[in-house]
Amino acid sequence: MPLTLEDRLTITELIALHGHLVDEGELDRAAEVFTPDVEYDLTDFGQGTLTGLTQLTDASLALGAGNPVAHHVTNVVVEELADGQVRVRSKGLGIRTDGSCGSVTYVDTVVRVGAGWRIARRRLEARRVPLNGLTPGTAAPL
């Protein structure tokens, strides 16, 4: 069944809800965003993949003051996949306690469950270099 405009809005709000819950320390509400068996891929940060809500919550608590104080998400793109799943790409900005900022790309697989839409898989891609490392003469013009 094709995604409706309402589905797209609900999915976009789901992506935004994550930052609000984490920043408020409402980790007990993670099931409103993720499936119980979520795969949270932090490989690009050298931390492997967390599986399930308990591992995700425990890792957040263990990071403690190393967590960003603010998570901001923008540039949300929702793409319907042939198998009924949805891929969502978005940009994340994390503000740290010292005021520094980091950027990631979230690549999410979102599935419809009884309670609505939930993220079943999230991969974080660190943004460390401009233009993803392209150098002069290697890119096609926009």
Q: How confident is the model at residue 139 (pLDDT cuts 50, 70, 90)?
A: low
Q: CA 56 to CA 44: how far, in whole Å?
A: 16
Average pLDDT over residues 28-55: 96
Q: CA 28 to CA 53: how far, in whole Å?
A: 9
Q: Measured between alpha carbons, how far is residue 116 from residues 9, 14, 30, 135, 140 in Å?
A: 12, 10, 14, 43, 40
Q: Considering the entire predicted model, what is its pTM?
A: 0.91
Q: What is the dihedral of CA 26, 127, 52, 111, to 10 degrees?
A: 90
Contact 86, 11 (CB under 8 A): yes
The strands making up 86-95's β-sheet, listed across from edge to edge, are: 49-51, 34-41, 116-126, 101-113, 86-95, 70-80
Question: Residues of the chain with pLDDT > 90: what percent?
Answer: 82
Q: CA 7 to CA 5: how far, in whole Å?
A: 5
- CATH T-level assignment (fold) for domain 5-127: Nuclear Transport Factor 2; Chain: A, (3.10.450)
Q: Domain limits of the chain? A: 5-127
Residues 70-93 have pLDDT tens digits of 999 999 999 999 888 899 999 999
Pairing mode of beta strands 86-95, 70-80: antiparallel
